[in-house]
Structure 1
Amino acid sequence: MDLKEPQTPSPSCAKILMLHGHAQSGHSFRCKTHFLQETVGNILLKSIPKDQNRVPFDGFEFHYPSGLWPANPDDFNVESNHMWVWGYGDPETDRIRGLETTIEYLLHFMDIHGPFIGIMGFSTGACIGAVIASLLERRESVGNLRFDTNHPPLGFLASFCGFPLEHPAYKSLYNPKIETPTLHVMASMDVVIEERQSLRLMEFCKNSYMHYFFGTHYVPRSEDFLDVLANFFEHAFENDGVEEDEWEDLEN
């Protein structure tokens, strides 16, 4: 009998989907957050519990898709346009034009390039990240947002200056509440997204964690924030999670 040596498991990467804000692109968001990649990746790898039934993660990848729609609807020149959006409309009052196509595109992107362990989204990217987290939990279409993927639910969502969609057509996205562990990062001097909007999204998430930072509408990079992020990942990958009445500021 020819006895073969046991095969070494193939290497596996922890993949994070990065979703940019209004009038940005995957490329510009990569440039704005490149300083986070190595630190966040290493923190994440230390936080994910080892599973003897799964190949352990030995690396990490950040994927930065761009929105499908130009910020200026009159400019569809892909070569010159570096400002993209995920849809058109007021998130507090409108049904968002183009949202159905965006969600279909992103779910397909996740099927092709994933699976993804979590999403980090900025502003409208955070809003879209919450929509995706909700759909992946519900495993069914919500209104005109078609669920067509085998991708598993997310391990976490990091929402920077995020907000929900308030039109009644999207009510089922947030009821029941989103269970994916979510870090809500809010800027003390944000003049683009109001605090009440970010707090509203937080209300729609069952396993919520909050962090305020002194600054404006951007992704923070301070040591304090990185400590908060490490604490969040530790909580997010605990088996028992946290109940909705146990919201906490991870600075404490």
Structure 2
Amino acid sequence: MGDSTSPSQPPSRTDSPALSSRAGTPKINNSKPKKEIRILMLHGYTQSGALFRAKTRALEKLLAKALAPAGLVPTMVYPTGPNRLSPRDIPGYEARPGTASQEGGEDNEIDSWAWFRKDEANERYRFVEEGMRRLADFMSGEGGQEDGTEVGDGAAVGGGLIDGVVGFSQGGCMAGMLTAALEGCHEPTAKEHEGWVKAVRDANGGRPLKFAVIYSGFFATPRDLAWLYEPKIKTPTLHFLGSLDTVVDESRSQGLVDRCEDPVVLTHPGGHYVPVSKEWAMPLAGFIKKCVEGVDAQTRL
């Protein structure tokens, strides 16, 4: 993990008279040092790490290709949320006539997960701590593929400082909360959140993220989580919105945009999904490159 430099190859040896005039001229290695960029990829409600990776595999490949000239090697990691959903938790699900869905029964064993659950009656999010501790376990090296974590090509599951986060839908909300918590200037007003905030900060070595990318995300509305956005999120953020998104209302996504300092907002002509074509991968790559190089330049000062 971390920075590594590819060793220069020695000049090829040759006895050819045609090349004798260049025999004593050393070759110049113009390749840039390789720098790994570790990125958490947070899936949406009802998805899993494996499913989210399958849907964004093309984006992963395009991103790696676009960042290669800058010497940046993205390691995409796809953890799975800790809360298993039952069929009745899925929007539009209808139980078959004559069947009973028992809690923990066979009908509930589907590969659909969530980072947290919304408690409409009490206007709260349940299981936020479980979701955050799942991320903290991964960052500290205690999580892994046994927890449903998928990794990009050539990557290894295990602990390591995270450089950025990409989240979709509920994963976008989670990405915003994680980004804010890692900044260190947002302190929980409810004691119940103190444990997971310390856990994620310790897991990332007390270091904030360099960037956050949010697709069709939204802000956390419960009052006990308002501290996450006061003051506004300072980490650079890129927001992708779908002009035809009917799942997350535009006002909810705009609410998260408004809670970030200097957000970059792009709108694609589609619905509730992550656009993976080159047209939308290139601005993502440019944003990540700018953020990583900007933080590294500040560190050298």
Please, what TM-score do these two structures have when normalized by structure 1?
A: 0.79
| Code of the aligned partner of 1:59 | V
Residue range with higher mean Cα deviation, 150-159 or 123-132: 150-159
Q: Of 164, 170, 173, which aligns to 1:118?
A: 164
The change in CA–CA distance for 1:103 and 1:223 in structure 2 (over 3 A counts) is same
Q: Is the 8 A contact 1:19 1:126 kept in 2?
A: yes
Q: Is the 8 A contact 2:58 2:277 kept in 1?
A: no
Please, what TM-score do these two structures have when normalized by structure 2?
A: 0.67
Q: Is the 8 A contact 2:167 2:215 kept in 1?
A: yes
Shift of 1:137: 0.4
Q: Of 35, 40, 43, which aligns to 2:66?
A: 43
Task: Work out the CA distance in 2 between the residues paired with 1:42 and 1:15.
Answer: 16
Q: Counterpart in 2 of 1:88?
A: 117
Shift of 1:223: 2.6
Q: Is 2:265 the partner of 1:219?
A: no
| Code of the aligned partner of 1:13 | E
Task: Work out the CA distance in 2 between the residues paired with 1:18 and 1:128.
Answer: 11
Shift of 1:45: 5.1
Unmatched 5+ stretches in structure 2 = 1-6, 8-32, 90-102, 142-158, 296-301
Q: Is the 8 A contact 2:243 2:269 kept in 1?
A: yes
Q: Is the 8 A contact 1:189 1:214 kept in 2?
A: yes
Q: Counterpart in 2 of 1:197?
A: 252
Shift of 1:163: 0.2
Shift of 1:108: 2.1
Alignment of 1:1-252 (within 5 A): 13-44=36-67, 46=69, 59-72=73-86, 74-75=103-104, 80-89=109-118, 94-112=123-141, 113-138=159-184, 142=188, 143=190, 144-145=192-193, 146=196, 147-148=198-199, 149-151=202-204, 152-237=207-292, 239=294
Task: Work out the CA distance in 2 between the residues paired with 1:140 and 1:203.
Answer: 17
Shift of 1:207: 3.1
More helix by share: 2
Q: Give the SS at the match of 1:165.
A: coil
| Code of the aligned partner of 2:80 | S
Task: Work out the CA distance in 2 between the residues paired with 1:231 and 1:61.
Answer: 16
Task: Work out the CA distance in 2 between the residues paired with 1:14 and 1:120.
Answer: 12
Residue range with higher mean Cα deviation, 220-229 or 158-167: 220-229
Task: Work out the CA distance in 2 between the residues paired with 1:18 and 1:46.
Answer: 23
Unmatched 5+ stretches in structure 1 = 1-7, 48-56, 241-252
RMSD between aligned residues = 2.8
Q: Give the SS at the match of 1:192.
A: coil
Q: Counterpart in 1 of 2:100?
A: none
Structure exhibiting the larger radius of gyration computed from Cα positions = 2
Residue range with higher mean Cα deviation, 112-121 or 161-170: 112-121
Q: Give the SS at the match of 1:237.
A: helix
| Code of the aligned partner of 1:18 | M
Task: Work out the CA distance in 1 between the residues paired with 2:68 and 2:177.
Answer: 25
Q: Is the 8 A contact 1:209 1:232 kept in 2?
A: no
Q: Counterpart in 2 of 1:54?
A: none
Shift of 1:42: 3.6
Shift of 1:75: 4.1
